[in-house]
Amino acid sequence: MAEHLSQSELDYPFKLLEYFNGFRVSKMIFSACELGVFDLLLKSQDALSAQHVAQELGTSMDGMERLLDALVGIEILEVETAQGTALYSSTDVANLYLAKGSAKSLHDMIIYRSQTVYPLWNNLVDAIREGRNQYEKTFGLPSGHFFQAIYRSEEEMLKFMGIMSCHWVLDGHDVVTAFDLSRFQKVVDLGGCTGALANEMARAYPASSVTVFDLPQVVEAAQKHFKQEDSGVTFQSGDFFSDEIPGADLYVLARVIHDWPEEKCLALLKKVYETCKPGGGVLLVEALLFENRRGPIMAQIFSLNMLVQTQGRERTPSEYTHMLNKSGFCNVQVCRTGKSYDAILAVR
């Protein structure tokens, strides 16, 4: 930030104040999603008054008007005036990403961040002091078994599964096409959750068979609550740490390695190596830090989130390469997608 501190910024800290208010901007969007503002505006054929929105959603007129005006201020909503009344409508971006009904909806991501991640971040100071996640302080749950905390109820598990699907709505195609994976005939997505990334893989490589391997309760919920495309993706239940994993030409570990400390990552990667067919490989999908750890800012923020929420961290390409080589894999290739998640391919 120092290089951007012009004399005017020193005279009045506009940028710092923008950062200070960042949590308020997030909460505005979160609140509008939770209240159903974007869904209502998407369904309406006409722009709506604050009074109409408030009545439909069961809120105060005053509070809703302030929220709508603030959303106009950050250019997520639009407003026009007709006969002295302000009428609000969604922008194309809001309709595409913030309403539930859109094919690219990030609604589940927003709900999870508002109701789970945001409370955890209230204890960031303690996470930094203690060097561990904050489930116990935030939710009264043991911090040592954080996936038990994440999956503590069906409602919480579905929230988490929803956010995982949202990630692959945005980044799935880019990470599965970062390398030509067509030579891998049998693909197993370890911890593949809802199958969203597996479906992207199946669409990109229709000649390959793709299987999601995840915990029994996750597989059951994926098939029950999440729409499964006619892509031929299959599901298999198991724990990739304690159970035998199915044989494959390519294993996918997407947003898995960053959850764990190095010793647990190495144990999993060695298990994958030993099961992997000769000539096969592993595809890691993670948010890569720069080698000097000075960015990208999104990966730095994600790494703080790993401290608050898991036992892991985000890593540099050389750190992943080291773990892969130590596990037996070779010929490590790295592809930065320019988006939230990057891809690393290594072969046996």
Q: Read off the tokens for 91.
A: 């922008």
Question: Based on the domain organization, do 192 and 286 belong to the same domain?
Answer: yes
The total of structural domains in the chain comes to 2
Same domain, 171 and 248: yes
Q: Is residue 140 part of a domain?
A: no
Domain identity same for 227 and 85: no
Q: Are residues 266 and 341 in the same domain?
A: yes
pLDDT for the residue 231: 80
| Structural domain containing residue 80 | 7-98
**Residue 57, domain member (yes or no):** yes
Give the CATH number for residue 173.
3.40.50.150
Q: pLDDT per position in the chain (348 positions), as tens?
A: 455 557 788 889 999 999 999 999 999 999 999 999 999 999 998 999 999 999 999 999 999 999 999 999 999 999 999 999 999 999 999 999 999 988 899 999 999 999 999 999 999 999 999 999 999 999 998 888 888 888 989 999 999 999 999 999 999 999 999 999 999 999 999 999 999 999 999 999 999 999 999 999 999 999 999 988 788 999 999 999 999 999 999 999 999 999 999 999 999 999 999 999 899 999 999 999 999 999 999 999 999 999 999 999 999 999 999 999 999 999 999 999 999 999 999 999
**Which of 73, 98, 123 is the endpoint of a domain?**
98
Structure tokens that stand for 222 in this block: 């994926």
Q: Please tell me the predicted confidence (pLDDT) of residue 164.
A: 95
Answer for the pair 340, 287: CB distance below 8 angstroms, yes or no: yes
Which residue among 70, 98, 126 closes a domain? 98
Which residues are CB-contacts of 238 (< 8 A; sequence separation ≥ 6)? 213, 214, 215, 216, 244, 245
Residues recognised as catalytic: 258
Same domain, 73 and 173: no
- 261 with 182, same domain: the answer is yes
Domain identity same for 201 and 332: yes
CATH of the domain at 71: 1.10.10.10
In terms of Cα–Cα distance, which of 149, 154, 151, 114 is closest to 134?
149
Indicate whether 269 and 191 sit together in one domain: yes
153 found inside a domain: no
Check whether residue 168 and residue 304 sit in a common domain. Answer: yes
Is 141 a domain residue? no
Structural domain includes residue 34:
yes
Q: Tell me if 143 is assigned to some domain.
A: no
Q: Write down the residue that tokens 């000649």 correspond to.
A: 207
Residue 170 domain flag: yes
Residues 174 and 262 in one domain: yes
One-letter-per-residue 3-state SS of 262-303: HHHHHHHHHHHHHHCCCCCEEEEEECCCCCCCCCCHHHHHHH
pLDDT at 144: 82
Q: Which of 68, 83, 98 is the last residue of a domain?
A: 98
* Sign of the CA dihedral with 232 first, then 237, 240, and 243 last: negative
Is the domain of 254 the same as that of 342? Answer: yes
DSSP 132: S
Distance between CA atoms of residues 113 and 153, nearest Å? 17
- Flag whether 121 is in a domain: no
Residues 94 and 169 in one domain: no
Do 181 and 285 contact (CB within 8 A), yes or no? no
> What are φ and ψ of residue 304, in 5° steps?
-60, -40
